[in-house]
Every structure is written in C-alpha cells, then in structure tokens.
A and B are shown apart, each in its own frame.
Chain A
Amino acid sequence: MKIVTGNDLKTGEVVWWDGQGWSIHITDAVDAGENADTIIATESASRRVNSAYAIDAEQTDDGPRPAHIKDRVRALGPTVRPDLAVPAADYVGWDWVI
C-alpha cells in the first residue's frame, strides 16, 4: 500500500493522511493508492502539511507498517526515548521499528 506522511506546518509534528485529514497516529493512515500526488499537492498548497511524501507500507494486523525504518522511527519517536513516544504508541511496541 501507499501511505502519505509529512509534518504539520505550524508544529512540525509527524502526521499521516487518514483519508480526510492528518493524524499523528500511523494506525489511522489509509491507502492513498493513485491519489498520493494529488493529496500532497492540494494539502501542501493549503498549508495543512509540510514536506509531505508518499511511502510504501505493508498492511499488518497492527496497521500499516512503513517499508523503511526511517518512517517507522518517525511513526513512534526516537527509539532511545520511549518516554517521548507518540501518545498511545504502545499499540505496536518498539520491536516493530527494528
């Protein structure tokens, strides 16, 4: 599946396209399919997201799992600071990242 991610323009928070808007939880991410470029263009132009890009991910029982470790780190937070993890990130656990 293709999912779309970026950062909130004002706060910088990592966000995921959930079909209508942007969520901080990767579990909300939906398959953007062929629409990724359109979503990125319109959402960037309206400044609801910054530096958005589409990535490959795998749909798993725990929700979408990005193909690249970089985006898995983005989804949860720094692996060395579990205390700063994205709220409710315990849904997948740190093994999910590596």
Chain B
Amino acid sequence: MADFDLGTGRDEVQLRFRDDEQADVAAVTVDSFLDQVDADAVRIEPGDDARDLLPHLARLRLVEVNFPSHTDGRGYSAARLLREHGYNGELRAVGDVLVDQLRYLRRCGFDAFAPDRPLDEADAAAALERFAHVYQATTDKAVPIWSLRHG
C-alpha cells in the first residue's frame, strides 16, 4: 500500500470541532512518519505505540486514529496520551466511528470525525449533548462533578 494516499481526505470529515482551517495534508503510517523528517500528518493504527510520536508533536498538523472496529478501544488511550503531552493539532477519529462513541471520543481529545458510514446528524448532536456532566477530569477541560461539588 502506498503511504501517500492512506489517510482520509478533508472532504471525508463529517464533524469537526475546530476553528482553524483544515490542513490539506495526507496522513502516513507511523513507521513512514518516523522515517521522514518533513512529514506533518500521521495515521495511528490500533497496534501502533502513540508514544513513538511524542518527540515529534511540534511538527504534526494532523493525527488520524483509525478504529477498524468500534470495539477496539486502544485509540482512546492513544488520543489522550497525545493531548496530555501537548499535541494541539487536529485529532481525527476515522473508521468504524459510531454515534454512541462520539461523547467518549470527544472526551479523549478527538476534534474531528471521518466515519466510514456517515452518522445521522440529529442522533450525533443528541448523543453529544445528552450528558450535562462528567465524573472524570480528562484533557477535554470539562469540569468534573467532584470539582463542581467543591468549587
């Protein structure tokens, strides 16, 4: 498989929660990214170690995390790790991304979604708005319930 056409294109992104302009870049595999000094977009597969990217966060403009199956949750940890280490660029969930995962994905730092099968927009909006509160502190800056309780 050629690396250069691996990633999802800009027009495949169905939901985006960023104000900046979408970069027109193509994501390459983690191995390929690490081999190239000027690559600025990467695609993480479930078996990849997101920690390998930590020394290179500054040059990244797009990170795609692939979910070949929605039941494989490694991408959640990969996303949080990148955010916790300061990655601020677009973090795009691609693949078997379903309505009912959106809330969790958002909380782990994803801000763009390119699902294999388009989501019902009304269902997606409802899923994202349903829970007013959260129990945990993550990198999404939502104020956890314990913080609301104790000011």
Instruction: Answer whether A and B touch in the complex at a CB cut-off of 8 Å.
Output: no
